[in-house]
Structure 1
Amino acid sequence: MDKVKIGVIGIGNMGTQHVVNLYNGKVKNAELVAICDIKQSRLDWAKKEFNNEVSTFLSIDELIDANCADALIIATPHYQHPIMGIQGLKNNLHILVEKPIGVYTKAVAELNKIASESDKVFTIMYNQRTNPIYKKVRDLVKSGEIGEFRRVNWTITDWYRTQFYYNSGGWRATWEGEGGGVLINQCPHQLDLIQWILGMPSKVRGFCNYGKLHNIEVEDEVTAYLEYPNGATGVFITSTGEAPGTNRLEIVGDKGKLVVEKNELTFYRNRISEREHNATSQEGFDKPENWECKIPVEGILTNHVGIMQNFVDAIMDNKEQLAPGVEGINGLTISNAIHLSSWTDNWVTLPLNEDLFYEKLQEKIETSTINKEDIDIVLNLQGSH
């Protein structure tokens, strides 16, 4: 194989970026050969933009039947991600899925099962794993530099969205069309990074405000409390209606504290462990000696192109994946747990009760008052292979 022939399904906001990057050669050893979208107007745009050099299809079935691609990038509305991922894998295609991996873990578990039985590369577009800062944070945590993990706080409220944004598509900000709000759309990256760096929590308590700051039915403001197996705790705060917003991550261990804010990483390093100091100090208010260290971070954020390049390299050269698709279920599990906790007004213990979450999600869909016409059109995109 000289090049990986790629088809992109869905050319909305993200899909459009992907096809432009592929066509312009931003991903080495990759060739854009096909585009699929249910809107003829988008396909007409693609034909003009790419000089009729890329095949276009109105359905995933047509694209697969054409046998023109080695791999698919799935950038459709969220509910289709597991469905189309399974369809592609069953037809011997490598699969790269946009985030989130799906809306509910029960569907994603089936996708992971099919992927485990396949020899094809399966990747998720967790582009923030290419960020050198978060790579360094993970290294400092995993290497034991901060000692035993004690606390994490992440306030990520710079996802500001206007009402115009939510009105731009009938499927947006609906339970049936999108499957949630800020948790499922804007911040899957941060939920993934939390578990990528620190592992999975054992208990979750979520507080969601639905349509508090916009005329929508899903959550646009969230505060969640996390508990970990070793007793560590966490608070996760996010919103699409706060301006100016904040993006600040704190991770505390007994040997110090990491802070990520404004593209800088600072390590407040204790000269000795807090536990050792606590046990040996002969003064009541004495604190461990602490050094403020600006951590140098090497490399650049390659973002979506970086994940696509890693995907192609894994296909061509069996390179280790930065964002294996099977790991997409982890961040989604936290998201589902926050929702379920909010809906039941109770703690949720992991592993998640997938059947209960699905039941409650269906209740949300059935009681929705949103006009279903645009949603139904979008949902018809799913294939039948």
Structure 2
Amino acid sequence: MLKDVLQKLKLHPQDPLQIHGYQTYGTNEHLYLLGRALEDEGVNLDKTGLANAFKNAYKQFRSDELPFAKLKIKLPDDRVFYVETNAEGYFKFDKAVKDLQDLTNEQGWLQLELAYDDENQKRLIKNNNRFPGQMLIPSRKAEFGVISDIDDTILKTGVTSLLKWRVIFNTLFTGVGKRTPFKGAASFYKQLHLGKSGNASNPMFYVSNSPWNLYHYLQAFIKHNNFPKGAILLRDFRTPFDRTPKPEKPHKQREIRNILNTYPDLQFVLIGDSGEHDADIYIEIAEEFPERIKAIYLRSVNHEKRVFRVRGLLERFELTPALLVKDSQTAAEHARELGLIQ
């Protein structure tokens, strides 16, 4: 872009710095944070129109990260920790820290403050160098947890379309306010969040194969459409030049296993769709963690061969209640029969 050239020639001011703190999850004695340090490209998801949607998408994918930046993490009780970003500007803080749950709100969210800690940093930093971070610790009232896919589960994406052209089009040219959730999905998720008691604050986890570049887009979609707030777990795309060892298991499967291992005393409901590999992953998870999965719900997508294959998988699977549904109302009725919701 012309702006980049002008910045290198010092003919245009550099973009101010910011820190993106992602909604993660942890425990009373385990602080787990993810985020990214990068320049503020001026992404504004509130702006409408095709041109603004494309501009926002472009800015999210051409982000200028801050590699090896020193950051500071401050807890509400003034305890401070330090972390450094990697070559792509991402940071991960994953350490044992005691007495965290008493710092959370009623929904189980621990509010943190992130800041740059480099005394030699001469760049302009937004927000007076104070950025929010959040980590979910399941409430003591929680009856179970909910792990959900995003694409074609709560958000219509067209992931099964030819060459996934609908996914590309929607990502580039459709603003958050114009994206369509599945009818009744938000209401069903609210019921699951509240549980059988009606005030359970059951923890929500949204797991997707979308890249971290779309984090704020998906976060805004979840909030805009009144889905319960939850941890959002995306992935970093591997490039052809990536020489790091390839993970043995797919991203979604690894994240779900991590969640179940983090909360060994909590059972879960798994929600996905029949479009890609959710059925295979969820069945394998249920077999690996017997007695831990209360129910599996798979939304039936408009793809006859995939629906036929998933239906066959579920007919042979008897370990956990598992249902292929066309709408959220059917899933809610089944969940009510199981005693999961009011």
TM-score for both structures, normalised by structure 2: 0.32
Structure ranking higher on relative contact order (CA contacts 8 Å, 6+ apart): 1
TM-score for both structures, normalised by structure 1: 0.29
Q: Which of 1 and 2 has greater Rg? A: 1
